[in-house]
Amino acid sequence: MKPYVIVLGNEKGGTGKSTIAMHLAVYLLHGGFRVGTVDVDARQGTFSRYFEYRKASSVGGLRVPTHFAVRKSPAENIAQAKADENDDFQKAMAALDDHDFIIIDTPGNDTFLSQLAHSYADTLITPLNESFVDLDVLVSVKGSDNKRLHPSIYAEMVWNQRKERAKRGEKPIDWIVLKNRLTTLYSKNRSEINLVLEALSKRIGFRLCGGFCERVVFKELFLSGLTLLDLELSNQQMSLSHVSARQELRELITFMRLPHTEK
């Protein structure tokens, strides 16, 4: 069986793609799965640096996936650059062909490598901060009544990559929009965004997931190569915030309905 591919995608930076990708990878590793990871945002390199920190960690017993970084081609000719990037990407995917899951982190802008990665997604997760500034990655809102909705360039790109999968005879992408970095405070703006997202989910075909609250702990763990799932190995005391964040992660995994996760 082919590996199940999970892609973290959003054409905006700072939405938490790499953080979620790290936690998903470690969660699946803890479940005993063979996990491969691919960083096609190698210029930024957040995903790749995290695993470097993890390998260098003083905490024993940390599991690490098989990781590849695919870099943008230096070729000046566009056709040659795309051919080089496609070749490097295919080599990474082929090397991970005997794994159970592949998790791919993509850049916060439109690149050929990002489009290519999206076309291989069995599940696509798009983290989204709750603001109308970030909402335009999915939709353009026309008018003050928030009712005239037009799919964004990114939404159209996802649609095009769905067609590429169909050409290869593969199943449709399960697209999940994940509300991320949430606050606990109610606001009218938040309520309006939720209404727009719920309406949009039916129109362009994604499932809407609750997501993660904003937590300092994610930033604190990054430099040590740890996740919330590793705290017991590092003998760190669990706070209420840690427990809540772990529950949010479990709820995301349940919502994703990944194959074989009962293993």
CB 147 within 8 A of CB 3: no
CB 152 within 8 A of CB 140: yes
Residue 36's Cα: distance from chain center in Å? 14
Q: What integer pLDDT is reported at residue 263 of this predicted model? A: 46
Q: Residues 249, 255, 260, 263: is their CA dihedral positive or negative?
A: positive
For the chain, the structural domain boundaries read 4-256
Q: What integer pLDDT is reported at residue 262 of this predicted model? A: 58
Q: What integer pLDDT is reported at residue 184 of this predicted model? A: 56
Q: What integer pLDDT is reported at residue 64 of this predicted model? A: 94
Q: Which CATH class is domain 4-256?
A: alpha beta
Name the one residue in this structure whose structure tokens are 């096609």: 40
Stretches where the chain sits below pLDDT 50 are 263
Q: pLDDT digit string (tens) for 181-219?
A: 656 555 666 677 778 788 788 888 899 987 777 766 777
Q: Is-above-0.85 flag for pTM? A: yes
Q: Is residue 212 helix, strand or coil? A: coil
CB 174 within 8 A of CB 124: yes
- CA nearest to 171, candidates 67, 106, 259, 63: 259
Say which DSSP state 213 is in: B
Total number of residues shown for the chain: 263
* Token reading at 162: 């769905």
Residue 194's Cα: distance from chain center in Å? 20
